[in-house]
Structures are given as C-alpha cells and as structure tokens.
C-alpha cells in the first residue's frame, strides 16, 4: 500500500472586516454605548457575525450616537 502525500494549495486570505473600534473599550452606563466607537455591547459582541451591509448601516449611525453621551465623559 502506498501513501500519497497531498500538498495543500494556498489558503485564501481572509477578508478584513470593517470596524469602528479605536481600542478605547469603556461602556457608558447611562447610554450603554462604548465611549470609543459608540457601539452597544451587543453590536460589539456580534460584529463578526453581521453582514457587510449590517455593519455599514451601524457605522453610518455611529456619529449621531455621540450626542447620547455626556460631553464630560468624552473629555469635551
């Protein structure tokens, strides 16, 4: 019996996932939003499972969420 060796081909490079994360992970209790990216914990936790379209929709909404956080908490 002969053993045949199979050389795997090149692996596809994983597609990068767009993210608003700025590595400032502090959740504001009053608004339930991250002070760095303005996402909720549920959005952060499920981010990799969302479609590109769902992530884009959330990212488009993020700038408007800033107003939900007290300016002092953002250092303004």
Three state DSSP letters for 7-36: CCCCCCCCCCCCCCCCCCCCECCCCCCECC
| Residue 8 within any structural domain of the chain | no
| Residue 65 within any structural domain of the chain | yes
Record the pTM. 0.76
| Residue 1 within any structural domain of the chain | no
| Residue 47 within any structural domain of the chain | yes
| pLDDT of amino acid 51 | 95
Question: What's the rounded mean pLDDT across residues 56-62?
Answer: 96
Report the alpha-carbon distance of residue 28 to residue 38 in Å, rounded.
9
pLDDT tens figures, 15-46: 788 899 999 999 999 999 999 999 999 999 99
Report the alpha-carbon distance of residue 52 to residue 43 in Å, rounded.
13
| Residue 18 within any structural domain of the chain | no
| pLDDT of amino acid 76 | 81
- Sign of the dihedral through C-alpha 68, 42, 29, 73: negative
Decide if pLDDT at 12 tops 90: no
Calculate the CA 26 to chain-centre distance.
14
| Residue 6 within any structural domain of the chain | no
Q: Which of 44, 42, 7 is nearest to 22 (CA)?
A: 44
**Which residues constitute the domain of residue 51?**
25-69
Domain count, the chain: 1
């Amino acid at each position: 019996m002969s053993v045949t060796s199979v050389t795997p081909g090149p692996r596809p490079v994983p597609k990068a996932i767009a993210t608003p994360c700025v590595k400032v992970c502090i959740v504001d209790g009053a608004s339930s939003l991250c002070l760095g990216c303005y996402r909720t914990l549920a959005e952060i936790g499920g981010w990799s499972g969302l479609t590109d379209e769902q992530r884009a929709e959330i990212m488009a909404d993020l700038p408007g969420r800033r107003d939900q956080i007290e300016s002092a908490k953002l250092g303004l």
